[in-house]
Amino acid sequence: MKVIGVTGMPGSGKSVVSRVAEKRGMEVVKMGDVIREEAQQRNEDPGIVAVQLREEYGEYVVANRCVDIIKNLAKTSAFNSKPKVDKPQLFLIEGIRSPWEVQIFKKNFKDFKVIAVHSKPETRFLRLKKRMRSDDSADSKESLERDQRELKFGIGEVIANSDYMVINEGSLNKFKKTVQRIIENEL
């Protein structure tokens, strides 16, 4: 089994990395989906739930849930229905936020690597306004507050210590090609 992680501030381009990985045949597990699912169950804002979960269960909670998801996917016959003789099962974890999460993934997955995606705050804000997912905001103050919350989780340390850094400020095609090269290099 091969597992790669991706980190980056909101709107940096993590979902593009995930789409490239999916085209490569990787199964994508999104840490944000774990938060959004819990937020829906609690009928609460995802940003609030992200903090609450960590306060209630510790810094490792989201990572541990993702590890369980990956291990369950690896066991299912649906995922294994198209076995490749000499190819490992391939997974990408999108949305790593803290060094504690990286620790959990490195403990559970041999040769785990992290790709960091970086974009300027102005670029990210414009992308978030356009995307408008449930946890996005068209208000610059709310967007800044979200960035500050992410930084409190330790995402800056994860980005600084990543195995790969990709700048996503140019053409989308160039960004995708860079990501493809990194993924191919790791597999």
Model pLDDT for residues 66-122, shown as the tens digit of each residue: 999 999 988 874 455 555 545 568 999 999 989 999 999 999 999 999 999 998 887
Sheet holding 164-167, edge to edge: 27-30, 90-96, 2-8, 113-118, 164-167
Residue range 40-52: mean pLDDT, rounded: 89
What region does 7 belong to: left with phi over 0, alpha with psi -120 to 50, or beta? beta
| Cα 183–Cα 99–Cα 3 angle in degrees, nearest 5 | 30
First to last CA, the chain: 10
Q: Catalogue all structural domains in the chain, each as residue range(s) with its CATH number.
A: 2-186 (3.40.50.300)
Task: Kindly state the tokens that stand for 81.
Answer: 């229905």
Q: Given the structure tokens 């090269």, which residue do they identify?
A: 181
Instruction: Name the pLDDT band for 19 (thresholds 50, 70, 90).
Output: very high
Q: How many residues does the chain have?
A: 187
